[in-house]
Amino acid sequence: MNRICTVAAKELLLLRRDLGGMLVLFLMPAVLVLIITLVQQNVMELTGEQRSRLLFIDEEQGDLGRAFQAALAEDSFLEILSWPPQRRKEALSAVQDGAYTACLILPAGTGKALRTNLEESLEGQSLAAEDEADPLPHLTVYFDPAMLPAFRSGVLGKVKMAFGQVEMAEKIDFLAAHLTRKLTALGIPASYLSAQELGLAGLNRQLLAVREQGEAISEVQPGVVQQNVPAWALFGIFFTVLPLGGALLRERQSGVWTRFMSMPFSPVALLCGKVVAYLLVCFLQFLLIYAIGNQFFPLLGLPAFSIEAAPVQVLFIVCAASLAACGYGLLLGVVCNSYEQVSMFGSISIVISAAMGGIMVPVYAMPAALQRLSVFSPLNWGLTAFHDVLIRDDSLWSPESGIFRLLLFFLCSIGLAWKMSRPRW
Amino acid sequence: MTRPPAIAIEGLVKAYAGQESPAVNGMSLVVPQGILFGLLGANGAGKSTTLALLCGLTGADSGTMEILGRRMSPAALAVKKLLGFVPQDIALYEHLTGRENLLFFARLYGVKRKQLQERVDFCLHLAGLVPRADQLVATYSGGMKRRLNLAVGLLHEPEILFLDEPTVGIDAQSRQLIHTQLQHLVGQGLTIIYTTHYMEEAEQLCTLVAIIDQGKILAMDTPQGLMAHHGCRNLEECFFLLTGKELRD
């Protein structure tokens, strides 16, 4: 045990004096998690998965505008900011610059034109719309030119639906008033002729619905933060293979391992000491990334990363992923014959494994062939384990769980490292 | 009661895959305790493999090895406690100080906490590195690194010290210091097994020398005895006489 602690302390001391290694281990994942999360958050806004901020300029200043704004506000994906008509030019400029998703302008006289059209419809006259020189009263929508077409059509659909609701309400009110006038003329008392009595009041209710299946069961919703914090923490953890493999290789090349082999103890203690040191490094890495996700992200307007749902399970996952990374690092240190091989092969294999495993792009967004390959990526096993406990409320201890694959990977790689290294040592 | 020899090997064979002849080919040798024993040979003669076998770095294909009367093998950890090994490479951590290197290896050797500081200070003094003890090894000269490399092998007070060409590529002052310290240690009863290319050095330092070639011992005696037996003026003449002058690349 003393020897394991001695080796671990030496590894940590050497690492502390290696500025480049420290940057790779701590700064790189911290920067990556920040940048990638912010970028993906922006992409989600562009694709409508986040609330869109719409400016609304009501030039009519009447009931129609108020009803329309209220209808829009019912949509949880839209945030409506009402600006006065005097700021029209400023609003269009802000949308053009990308500060807001769109600007909706309700022209003066829209309500009056709607009522005129209703009267003409009920009296069987042709509508103004049929005259191309005098189109229907309309709401004008200006979009941010950078909006993706699919997102633009999604927002436009929501605006049209809200506008349609308002139009329907106006029609019902107008029809009720029209019927009242006609029936009063026939001698029916006005007290019997409210919209309720006429049976029109309920027509504005929604009578058909669309229901989306596959909602998340847990309270924690998978968002960019829940995807990226564990993903980039795992990426950082697996990058410990570079300093670990490099350190072992340097010991082999400098003759230190030859000296160790002449000493009165098993080299297993040396391997264990290295694993203990880098396990600690991996936990520190995870703590750093967790602190960024939990404390710093909210300052940037992002949701906080939380492990409250399963803190102990998360620690087990970090431990298993760290062991897998250590095993792989030791294997590289034994197999490679130069530091260039360790750094090239190590970093390329981790980046490929990260790309394949859903660290950079979620697995569900990959082509089918790559999705099938993702099950071979140790980073995917770790990420799946995080998602299992934080999002899906699944058990960490099921036989097909990622944590067992990570532990098996550790045992296989360290066993292989030991077997392959013996003749050299 | 007679003391067992420091080393007793009988019919030792070690072959590497892909090589035509064994690196060590039926070697037999007895080295008494308390002497400085020189193992002399050209490149590829089998010196380093012999040391690797004796230090338990690798196992023999056949034959027996005894260190101080105990059977030696790579798994013989109790026997390894008795020996110190100084490899030909500078087997140190460049980004630790001299003192940190010694403390690290001393702890690995299992030096007791009470003796730790004392042994480290002794080895620093022996290597002439007290003024530079707290500087990184990366800042040391080649000679300083060689001296520290040697000092690491003495941390646990071994009974036999194996040195694989400890004076390669160092200045005359460092070589002189190493020679003085080695003679001092032998005077205190330590057995030193020493490989070198420098015949003059072996002639000056060694109590007994063995000249080996192609994994076999060609001759073994005191330097003076070898010279007298072969009618040579110095050990180098004897060496060439026994091994020839062909290149051994």
- The 10s digit of each residue's pLDDT in A241-259 is 998 998 899 998 888 988 9
Query: Strand, coil or helix: what is A415?
Result: helix
In this prediction, residue A134 has a pLDDT band, given cuts at 50, 70 and 90, of low
Q: How many CB atoms lie within 10 A of CB B198?
A: 17
User: Which stretches of chain A sit within 8 Å of chain B by CB?
Assistant: 2-3, 6-7, 10, 13-14, 17-18, 254-256, 258-266, 425
Mean pLDDT of B24-51: 88
Q: Is the per-residue pLDDT at B121 higher than 90?
A: yes
Please tell me the predicted confidence (pLDDT) of residue A423.
Answer: 42
Alpha-carbon distances of B104 from A5, A17, A40, B88, B131, rounded to whole Å: 11, 16, 47, 20, 19
Kind of pairing, strands B216-221 and B208-213? Answer: antiparallel
- Residue A148, token pair as written in the block: 């993706």
Please tell me the predicted confidence (pLDDT) of residue A202.
Answer: 67
| Interface TM-score (ipTM) > 0.85 | yes
Residue environment code for B28-40, b if the CB has 16+ CB neighbours within 10 A, otherwise e: ebebeeebbbbbb
Taking CA atoms, what residue in A is nearest to B102? A10
Please tell me the predicted confidence (pLDDT) of residue A233.
Answer: 92
Q: Is the per-residue pLDDT at A147 higher than 80?
A: no
The minimum CA-CA distance between A5 and chain B, rounded to whole Å, is 10
Residue A226 has what DSSP assignment? H
Please tell me the predicted confidence (pLDDT) of residue B118.
Answer: 92
Mean pLDDT of B214-238: 86
In this prediction, residue A289 has a pLDDT band, given cuts at 50, 70 and 90, of very high
The residue that leads in pLDDT, A177 or B92, is: B92
Q: Which residues touch A246 (CB under 8 Å, ≥6 apart)?
A: A21, A333, A339, A342, A343
The minimum CA-CA distance between B90 and chain A, rounded to whole Å, is 6
In this prediction, residue A120 has a pLDDT band, given cuts at 50, 70 and 90, of confident
The minimum CA-CA distance between A318 and chain B, rounded to whole Å, is 29
Asked if B194 contacts B166 with a C-beta cutoff of 8 angstroms, the reply is yes
Mean pLDDT of A349-363: 86
Residue with the two structure tokens 């110190």: B84
Q: Is the per-residue pLDDT at A337 higher than 70?
A: yes
Contacts for A42-48: CB closer than 8 Å, 24+ residues apart: A44/A223, A44/A224, A46/A146, A46/A147, A46/A148, A46/A151, A47/A148, A47/A150, A47/A151, A48/A77, A48/A150, A48/A151, A48/A154, A48/A155
β-strand partners of A143: A102
Mean pLDDT of A121-146: 69
Asked if A396 contacts A385 with a C-beta cutoff of 8 angstroms, the reply is yes
Please tell me the predicted confidence (pLDDT) of residue A219.
Answer: 41
Q: Across chain B, which distance is largest between two alpha carbons, in Å?
A: 54
Least confident of A37-41, A59-63, A421-425, B43-47: A421-425
Asked if A176 contacts A195 with a C-beta cutoff of 8 angstroms, the reply is yes
Q: Is the per-residue pLDDT at B229 higher than 80?
A: yes
Mean pLDDT of A58-84: 85
Summarised one tens digit per residue, pLDDT across range A364-421 is 767 778 888 888 999 999 988 888 888 777 777 777 778 889 999 999 998 888 877 6
- Could you tell me where the beta strands, DSSP code E, fall in B32-135? 36-40, 62-67, 70-71, 83-86
Contacts for A145-148: CB closer than 8 Å, 24+ residues apart: A145/A96, A146/A46, A146/A98, A147/A46, A147/A101, A147/A102, A148/A46, A148/A47
Summarised one tens digit per residue, pLDDT across range A186-227 is 777 766 666 566 666 666 666 666 665 554 444 444 577 888
Please tell me the predicted confidence (pLDDT) of residue B142.
Answer: 86
Q: Is the per-residue pLDDT at B113 higher than 60?
A: yes
Please tell me the predicted confidence (pLDDT) of residue A116.
Answer: 83
Helix pair A402-424, A267-291: axis angle to 10 deg: 140
For chain B, domain boundaries: 88-158
- Phi first, then psi: give them for residue B38, nearest 5 degrees: -100, 130
Average pLDDT, chain A: 82
Q: Which of A17, A254, A265 sits opposite B108 (nearest CB)?
A: A265
Please tell me the predicted confidence (pLDDT) of residue B124.
Answer: 93
Q: Is the per-residue pLDDT at A424 higher than 50?
A: no
Chain B residue numbers with beta carbons less than 8 Å from the beta carbon of A262 are 55-57, 80, 83, 85, 162
Q: Which helix (H) or strand (E) holds B210?
A: strand B208-213
Asked if A385 contacts A402 with a C-beta cutoff of 8 angstroms, the reply is yes
- Could you tell me where the beta strands, DSSP code E, fall in A35-111? 52-58, 78-83, 102-106
- Phi first, then psi: give them for residue A331, nearest 5 degrees: -60, -45
Selected for mutation to probe chain A from B93, B101, B102, B145 (highest A CB count within 10 Å) is: B93
Taking CA atoms, what residue in A is nearest to B88? A255
The strands making up A140-143's β-sheet, listed across from edge to edge, are: A78-83, A52-58, A102-106, A140-143
Q: Is the per-residue pLDDT at B134 higher than 90?
A: yes
In this prediction, residue A50 has a pLDDT band, given cuts at 50, 70 and 90, of low
Which domains, and CATH codes, for chain A?
Answer: 2-44+225-424 (no CATH), 52-204 (3.40.1710)
Angle formed at CA B48 by CA B98 and CA B190, multiple of 5 degrees: 60
Summarised one tens digit per residue, pLDDT across range B52-89 is 999 988 888 889 999 999 998 888 888 999 999 999 88
Residue with the two structure tokens 């029809």: A175
